[in-house]
Chain A
Amino acid sequence: MKKLWQIARMGLLLGATVFGGVAAAYPRVRERCTELGEITAEEVDGLYALAVVLPGPSFLNLWGAVSARTGGLIGAVVGEIALLLPAVVLVLALPLTTVIPWIGARTEGALNGSIYATAGLLLATGIEAVRKHKGYRPWLITALGLGALLAGVHPVFLLILVLGWGAL
């Protein structure tokens, strides 16, 4: 029961504070996952790879898999509900903004502001990740990966290539 509560609490925290999807805050998500215990950072990397290459939302898959490792399949259900709850509440509460006309009339501006803020958070995460690169290989993977994504290569295909390169 204590574990389920821990999963729910951490899921709610991630669901309420991570903007831009799992990739936007992967180092933080990875840290939180290991805080649950029973899972190492390397295993989280492995689960992330599986979460991306398998169908469904990557964040939900990753957090579900980590929660399952700690609390079984019930833990996965609790973890996924907790992760989604903040977004679901916000989506359902949005029509309430029309109660105050000034806010209701500016919903689009608020949405645009938060979308560009998400882009800013992603940019910061990317810069932080690149700063940690050691040696030429990570730089090369990031540069070639970015180029491939801009050229329209599917992220899953790229991930499989990158994992294959790393394994060699």
Chain B
Amino acid sequence: MTLLRLFFLVVSLNAVALGGGGMMLAGLERELVGGGFITPAQYAAGVALGQSTPGPLAAFTTAIGNYALGWPGALIATGGMMTVSLIVVAVIRLVPPAWFRQPRVQGALAAIGPYVAALVLFLALRIGLSGGAQRLVLPVLIVAGVAVGRLKKVPTPALMLGAVALGMLFEDAW
């Protein structure tokens, strides 16, 4: 695997990944784990890092690039992801702002809120249950505790740090 090949791999997978960067996970696994460039454990750790770092979920691309080719791989993979996004942004810029103010478009956009609600509840279930049913106590405590804390307006960084500390203290519980 060379840096150039990694760049084009990330670009090509992102270019066909509709619905967010997560849709390119299977392609990365096929190409990088299947090609023997990273181990399945490194791939799993990269995906976990993407979910646990702040910012876009697609940060797993950076982590997997890091496992494949060190820090240059991390930066190149990030650059590949940005390249596709910047092309998309250039396309979006062609849409005139007045278009968003048309009655039919506004009616359609009013449905975004309920859609996002369904999507986040689905993601919460998927991530919350990703550990399987064997060890449920600590994950359920963290998920419920953070959710209640967030609803009570506890700052997000404090909740994240608390969860990380709990995870480290009860390492054997996972």
Give A contacts to B, CB under 8 Å.
14-24, 26, 39-40, 42-43, 45-61, 64-65, 68-69, 73, 76-77, 80-81, 83-84, 86-88, 90-92, 94, 103, 105-106, 108-130, 132-133, 137-139, 141-146, 148-150, 154-156, 158-159, 162-168
Contact = CB atoms under 8 A, between A and B. Distances in A.
Contacts of A43: 97, 100
B92 A80 contact: no
B147 A55 contact: no
Given A46-B109, A114-B163, A114-B164, A16 B115 contact: no
Given A123-B124, A167-B108, A87 B54 contact: yes
Contact of A59 (B56, B106, B120): B56
Contacts of A22: 56
A48 B105 CA distance: 13
A48 B150 CA distance: 24
A120 B124 CA distance: 7
Main secondary structure of the interface of A (DSSP, over half): helix
A113 B156 contact: no
Q: B16, B100, B125, B162 — which one has the most chain A CB atoms within 10 A of its CB?
A: B100
Nearest to B154: A124
Q: How large is the interface on B (under 10, 10 to 19, 20 to 34, 35 or more residues)?
A: 35 or more
7 contacts: A24-B120, A45-B100, A90-B54, A113-B163, A116-B167, A124-B148, A149-B118
Interface of B: 14-21, 45, 48-59, 62-63, 66, 71, 74-75, 78, 81-82, 84-86, 88-93, 95, 97, 99-101, 104-125, 127-128, 130-131, 138-139, 142-151, 156-157, 159-160, 162-171, 174
Q: A16, A40, A125 — which one has the most chain B CB atoms within 10 A of its CB?
A: A125
A121 B52 contact: no
A1 B95 CA distance: 25
A73 B123 contact: no
A110 B55 contact: no
Given A19-B54, A105-B171, A118-B51, A142 B159 contact: no
B56 A126 contact: no
A116 B142 contact: yes
Given A17-B156, A106-B168, A111 B147 contact: no
Contact of A111 (B45, B115, B125): B45
Given A20-B123, A21-B20, A68-B93, A110 B167 contact: yes
